Amino acid sequence: MVCDRCKTAVKNNLEENGLHTVSVQLGAVEISESELSTAKLNELKQSLSDLGFELIDDKKSRLIEKIKNVVINKIHYSAEPGNQNFSDIIAAELHYDYPYLSKLFSDIEGITIEHYIIEQKIERVKELLVYDELNLSEIADKLGYSSVAHLSSQFKKNTGLPPSHFKKIGLSQRKPLDKVGKA
């Protein structure tokens, strides 16, 4: 889950399946039922799949989802300045050593956490350019880039377009957050 609409969709789906939610967070759901029958679990997996979600029930996959959610929350939803050290944030929030998390992420996702962060930042830059509320200097500062030149260089390297050209063509080049980092 990558947005509030996703959380609402999952919560509604669980309730439609007769389950009682305790909490629904990005990437994690807690229900009051202590056990589910195999049939109910399969039914839930299918109904979530129909909505474009996946039930993740192994520890490593849950860790990967948590890493993604930390990155997405910090880049897309945090009001804090962007000059944060992601390795420290991820390690602190997940209570694991960063080298372990980094290797696990790379092994399973096929890209590094750093590359995933860059792709999320570029997607956020696209969003901010389309909304046209901040200039490029403000966007660079908000996302923790050292300069507008660094942001522009990274943006062009990842999209093939300079930010000014992207701003002209707009929405057609954006990706849904759950597709960022996938070919």
Domain boundaries, given as residue ranges, for the chain: 4-55, 60-179
CA gap 82, 93 in Å, rounded: 17
CA gap 177, 51 in Å, rounded: 15
Residue 178 pLDDT class (50, 70, 90 cuts):
low
pLDDT at 165: 87
0.85 exceeded by the pTM?
A: no
Candidates 1.20.58.100, 1.10.10.60, 1.10.10.10, 3.90.440.10; CATH matching 60-179:
1.10.10.60
pLDDT at 158: 93
Residue 1 pLDDT class (50, 70, 90 cuts):
very low
Question: Which is higher by pLDDT, 72 or 40?
Answer: 72
CA gap 135, 132 in Å, rounded: 7
Per-residue pLDDT at 67 exceeds 90: yes
Instruction: List, for residues 113-134, the tens digit of each pLDDT value.
Output: 999 999 999 999 999 998 888 9
Instruction: List, for residues 71-106, the tens digit of each pLDDT value.
Output: 999 999 888 766 779 999 999 999 999 999 999 999
* Type of residue numbered 11: K
As beta bridge partners, residue 21 has 31
pLDDT at 40: 80
Q: Cβ(171)–Cβ(160) under 8 Å? A: no
